Amino acid sequence: MPTMADVARSAGVSVATVSHVLNGTRPVLSHTRQAVLDAVDALGYTPNTLARSLVTSRTRSIGLAVSAISNPYFTEILQGVEAAVLEAGYSLLIADPHDDPGHERKVVQLLHERRVDGMIVAPSARPHDLVGYLRRHAVPTVFLDRVIDAGVADGGATGGGAGSALGEGPPWYDQVCTESAEPTARLVTHLAQLGHRRIGLIAGLPGLSTTGERVAGYRDGLIAAGLAHDARLLVSGNSESAGAEQATAALLALPDPPTALVTANNAMTIGTLRALRRQRLSVPDDVALCCFDDFAWADLFSPRLTAIAQPSRELGAQAVQVLLERLDEPLRPSRTVRLPCAFVHRTSCGCPEQPGGPEEPEAPADTASSTLQEKGFAT
Q: What would the pLDDT profile of 150-204 be if each residue is shown by its tens digit?
A: 555 444 443 333 333 454 567 899 999 999 999 999 999 999 999 999 999 999 9
Q: Are 127 and 145 in contact (CB under 8 A)?
A: no
Q: Which residues pair with 184 in a beta bridge?
A: none
Report in angstroms the alpha-carbon separations of 323 from 59, 69, 94.
14, 23, 16
Distance CA 164, CA 166 (A): 6
Over the stretch 103-145, which tens digit does the pLDDT of each residue have? 999 999 999 998 999 999 999 999 999 999 999 999 999 999 9
199, 227 Cβ separation under 8 angstroms: yes
Residues 6+ apart with CB under 8 A from 250: 235
In this predicted structure, the answer to whether residue 48 has a pLDDT above a threshold of 80 is no
E-only strand ranges, 264-331: 288-292, 306-309
Percentage helix, strand, coil for the chain under 3-state DSSP, each rounded to 5: 40, 15, 40
Nearest to 336 by CA among 110, 154, 174: 174
- Tell whether omega for the bond before 361 is within 30 degrees of 0, i.e. cis: no
Note whether 318 and 176 are within 8 A (CB): yes
* Domains of the chain and CATH, by start: 4-47 (1.10.260.40), 61-178+313-339 (3.40.50.2300), 181-310+342-367 (3.40.50.2300)
Tell me if the pTM is above 0.95: no
Q: Do the beta carbons of residue 220 and residue 181 sit within 8 Å? A: yes
Per-residue pLDDT, 70: 64
Predicted confidence band of residue 53 (pLDDT cuts 50, 70, 90): very low
Hey, which residues does 200 pair with through a beta bridge? 261
Provide the 10 A C-beta neighbour count for residue 247: 25
373 band by pLDDT with thresholds 50, 70 and 90: very low
Average pLDDT over residues 282-304: 88
pLDDT of residue 282: 96
Q: Which range has the worst mean pLDDT, 33-42, 111-120, 264-273, 362-371?
A: 362-371
